[in-house]
Chain A
């Protein structure tokens, strides 16, 4: 008979296998090093070129530029959402002419650069000044901000119409049929059954569209609207100080990141019932 006479003395855990120093790790460390060096370099550049006078002079104008950007994007996204409803329905309608017209609208606004559309409205329509004055619309097109708002609204309406159409068509047919079987009128069925399910699908593309608009809105600086980009360009042209662009980049990144995280939270929230 054999039995243990003594307990095995406690021993330290065997040493972990050392991670090999692979080529991937080397490249990763080098890349991180480059980022670190770049951020330290930018930080030093900003500390080095720090000028309280400049900050006091251009800081408020950056804030007002930020306000102009947010206002422009907010207004055009809202108006575009309203305008996108009839376009999406025209696109889905059985009427050939209506569907074709909506398709042409969407194709034009999605196929051409936003900046070319802006020039077409601001400079192009601006060249019809006498006619505009005759019909009393000149006050609107005289202001670059209004032209930018009009262009962005038309542009985002085209994109949002496609998002909405895709989302509505992604809801299975059975949902419509089920609503009909329950005797719901089509209008109620659309708003209470189809749309809530479609909006879950549409949420992420909507977020992307808003981010695209925030980024795209930078081009209004070229038609003399002083948004964040416009204020940056003005400040740069007066000081030739490169850190103005760095400040603008940081502000844009903060805006986009806040929106992205907000959207991730929203999506998490409204798809609670789908999680298992």
Chain B
């Protein structure tokens, strides 16, 4: 079993090294950066920054589905007829939309550490506990994302007329099927611009995880800046990489929006 995992992870690593847009065989740094500070060998910082780029992109992409699913269920809870459910979900959004993302990150990172430590201490283990920064970042960003996401989805839910649910009833669908076949396709179409904005915010928030030591773009460029004493150049590269990520995602999102609106094109 472990052999399978090792094979899988090495296959993924190989794939990542081939499609790496910065230091892969046709990467930007490989083509234009050799001999400079951004070279992909041991002399330059290209490979480190490329690794950070991958970490940032991975963190954002890994957080997205978690936050979306969680946000969807919170949006459902917010429009439930049950008062306790509404109250509980409103408390959730109030807290996590009001706290600074950095503070949420610290609370999750140190709080988890303390919780796990106390949990293990009850089993008689007193060693130091280190929480994985990637997991802590994913939880903190996912929680914040889901809080905002629930608001976007809630307003999208409100834009869908009651008649659509009644149509589902008239066709004899049960609630899950109505949701899946009738409501969700319209929901995606309405919520997509808002979700696009949230994705951009998520992408920018991933820069905060550099503070708890995850080697993302900002951390790697920061290390490079400190060692090479060329802070401006390296932080400009960091900003540029984030800009590239933002541009790529706006292209993807406008394509998605066109795709969801394909049935409306004639009108």
Q: Which residues, 67 to 102 on B, are CB-close (under 8 Å) to A?
A: 77, 80-89, 91, 94-95, 97-102
A25 interface contact, C-beta 8 A? yes
Q: Which residues, 212 to 240 on B, are CB-close (under 8 Å) to A?
A: 218, 222, 225, 229-233, 235-236, 238-239
B242 interface contact, C-beta 8 A? yes
Determine the residue in chain B with the shortest Cβ distance to A29: B84
Q: Which of A56-64, A91-99, A113-121 contacts B (4 or more CB under 8 A)?
A: A113-121
Q: Interface size class for chain A?
A: 35 or more
Interface centre among B87, B106, B222, by most chain A C-beta atoms within 10 angstroms, is B106
Q: Which of B7-15, B122-130, B181-189, B200-208 contacts A (4 or more CB under 8 A)?
A: B200-208
* Cα distance A211–B83 in the bound complex, in angstroms: 28
Is B208 within 8 A of A115, CB to CB?
yes
Do most interface residues of chain B lie in helix, strand or loop, or is the interface mixed?
A: helix
B247 interface contact, C-beta 8 A? yes
B37 interface contact, C-beta 8 A? no
Q: Which residues, 34 to 75 on A, are CB-close (under 8 Å) to B?
A: 34-35
B145 to chain A, nearest CB (A): 14
Do most interface residues of chain A lie in helix, strand or loop, or is the interface mixed?
A: helix
Is A31 within 8 A of B85, CB to CB?
yes
Q: Which residues, 202 to 232 on A, are CB-close (under 8 Å) to B?
A: 211, 214-219, 221-222, 229, 232
Q: Which residues, 151 to 169 on B, are CB-close (under 8 Å) to A?
A: none
Q: Which of A77-85, A176-184, A246-254, A267-275 contacts B (4 or more CB under 8 A)?
A: A246-254
* Cα distance A113–B60 in the bound complex, in angstroms: 13
Give B residues with C-beta under 8 Å from A. Answer: 77, 80-89, 91, 94-95, 97-103, 106-107, 110-111, 114, 200, 204-208, 210-211, 218, 222, 225, 229-233, 235-236, 238-239, 242-243, 246-247
